[in-house]
Structure 1
Amino acid sequence: CPGVRIGSAERINIGDNCMIASNSYIADSDWHDIYNRTTMGKTAPVDIADNVWVGEGAIVCKGVSIGENSIVGAGSVVVNDIPPGCISAGNPARIVKRLDPDKKMVTRAHFFENPEKLFQEFDRFDRVLLEKDHLLHWIRHLFVPGKNDYPVHFMKPDEASSVCEISGLA
């Protein structure tokens, strides 16, 4: 994502299928000492396990481990370890919820494991959304607009969800 900053002086491990949102910052160092600002400050490795979601603008500080399937809320500052399967938020980040271990976790790997099916779904979705996206329809819409001539981003939520259902994305 745009604006993600990862600064490593020692070691940062990021697992598979992680999602790191815009403007997040992950660092394993203070980057300078408190009194001697010409030398490297303390460093400690950062470990982010598989399928972790770091929300927008979150900061992950040195020496932190974030467990598998955990979520760090937007704007959070992680200064302590987050166990697996937890949602954390705040400054400093605290556990606000534990995920249900019995619920199936669907990761980005599942989304991309069958590229042919994925392309078919995208193609079908495009056909539904773009079926009226041509010059003659646009000209007719200018002079004789119909009640169903609104683009998807102007649709009511129930209409937009029906488009997703038709495309198999709901």
Structure 2
Amino acid sequence: MGKIAIGDACLICPGVRISSAAEIVIADSCMMASNTFITDADWHGSYDRVRTLGCPEPVYIRENAWLGDGAIVCKGVTIGKNSIIGAGSVVVRDIPPNVIAAGNPARAVRELDPAEPMVTRASCFAETADMEGELDLMDRENLAGNSLLYWLKTVVAPGDKD
């Protein structure tokens, strides 16, 4: 019904729900852990339960924000750039940039150090040659024990761990 916009290089884990009646905008490089729920509506009125949407208000999740496992982001909220929302938190008010917020309701519990360099998910994909090299290295490490001889052994005389 509503508009959902998701930026580049975002991570959306299994079980994430995004329900929009108005507008939800998720900027580049955001991470949403499992079972995160983002909504821009109540989905019913407080007194008029027939009115299906209530009063929707847009949600904005700025660049490089990270929503922890099971976090809930409610209508009308903006989560600032680089901010982290703790697992199980319920966000009902705006969260400023560069903070760690947690709780029900979520509130800033710590500021991130602005002098510390911020590495985003998008930066992982910026240099494709470097990324290909790292992926090749991971493949070599993960497949180090594999060989034709080992495979034949597992087919002909498999052991307990094969």
Is TM more than 0.5 here?
yes
Measure the CA separation in 1 of the matches of 2:69 and 2:122.
Answer: 21
1:7 aligns to 2:9 (yes or no): no
TM-score of the aligned structures, taking structure 2 as reference length? 0.81
Aligned residue in 1 for 2:4: none
Could you tell me how far 1:132 is from its partner in structure 2?
A: 1.1
Alignment of 1:83-122 (within 5 A): 83-122=96-135
Q: Give deviations 1:62-99, integer Å, cap 9, x for gaps.
A: 11111000000111000111100000111111111100
> 1:116 offset after TM fit, Å?
2.0
Q: Who is 1:20 aligned against?
A: 32
Tell me the equivalent position of 1:31. 43
Give the SS at the match of 1:124.
Answer: helix
1:46 aligns with 2:59: yes
More helix by share: 1
Amino acid at match of 1:2: P
Match of 2:77 among 64, 67, 82: 64
Q: Once structures 1 and 2 are overlaid, which stretch shifts more, 124-133 or 92-101?
A: 124-133
Q: Secondary structure at the match of 2:46?
A: coil
> Distance in 2 between the 1:67 and 1:21 partners?
17
In the comparison of the two structures, how many residue pairs are matched? Answer: 143
1:37 offset after TM fit, Å?
Answer: 1.4
Match of 1:76 among 84, 89, 113: 89
Q: Over residues 86-140 of structure 1, what are the superposed CA-to-partner deviations in whole Å (9 max), with x where a residue is unaligned?
A: 0011111111110000110000111011112211111112112312123534749
> What RMSD, in angstroms, separates the aligned Cα atoms of the two structures?
1.9
SS at match of 1:87: strand
Gaps of 5+ in 2: 1-12
Q: Of the two, which has the highest radius of gyration?
A: 1
Amino acid across the alignment from 1:4: V
Distance, in Å, in 1 between the alignment partners of 2:148 and 2:102 is: 48
